[in-house]
Amino acid sequence: MKTKRIVITGGPGTGKTTLIKRLEERGFTCLHEVSREVTKKAQQEGIEQLFLTDPLLFSERLLQGRLQQFQEANNFKKEQLFYDRGLPDVTAYMDYASQSYPEHFTKVCTENRYDLVFLLPPWKKIYKQDNERYESFSEAEKIHDALLDGYKAYNYDVQLVPTGSVEKRITFILENLK
């Protein structure tokens, strides 16, 4: 059985984490976002905000963490495997920030493919800024566009998940698992 690799992505404040948690509660296997681990490790090294201090190093570590996650997923014997963000998120965010990156970033994203990509759009009704989410809603919309463009650049057919209750969103995703 070949496991179907499914990315759930979206900019800040789109309800992605809530959706992933609900999928897990329903028994689906979900691989979590690795950025918090990267940030935590950098803080242990004495770098409070690696993304702000050295965006390229942060993105390199993020790419390596997601690649390792992608490769370790070969050990799962599941029909579907959900990812909280995928490899192309790294280059999409770099593009959003107008940061250049080495060619191997693109190579990693090209060579390690997911089967499906679901993108959650910005949703003003649920958007909240906090200590970890410092982007304005307008910036969240631009990140959404960068994610959409980024995945399309790698020839993904991106499914836009409509806003609505978590259950309606999950139903949409499950009904679109081709």
The predicted model gives 11-39 an average pLDDT of 90
Domain assignment of residue 100, given as a range: 4-175
The predicted model gives 155-176 an average pLDDT of 96
At residue 175, the pLDDT reads 96
The predicted model gives 157-165 an average pLDDT of 96
Give strand ranges (E) for the chain.
4-10, 29-31, 80-84, 116-120, 158-160
The CATH number covering residue 167 comes to 3.40.50.300
Residue pLDDT, tens place only, 93-136: 999 999 999 999 999 999 999 999 999 999 888 777 666 666 77
At residue 155, the pLDDT reads 98
- How many helices and strands in the chain, by DSSP H and E? 8, 5
Mean pLDDT, the chain, whole residue set: 90
Q: Report how many domains make up the chain.
A: 1
Percent of the chain with pLDDT over 70: 96
This prediction has a pTM of 0.92
Other beta carbons less than 10 A from residue 138's beta carbon: 9
Does residue 90 contact residue 55 with C-beta atoms inside 8 Å?
no
The predicted model gives 34-45 an average pLDDT of 82
Tell me which residue has tokens 């950025």.
Answer: 35
The predicted model gives 3-29 an average pLDDT of 93
pLDDT at residue 76 is higher than 90: no
CA distance 89 to 78: 24
At residue 88, the pLDDT reads 98
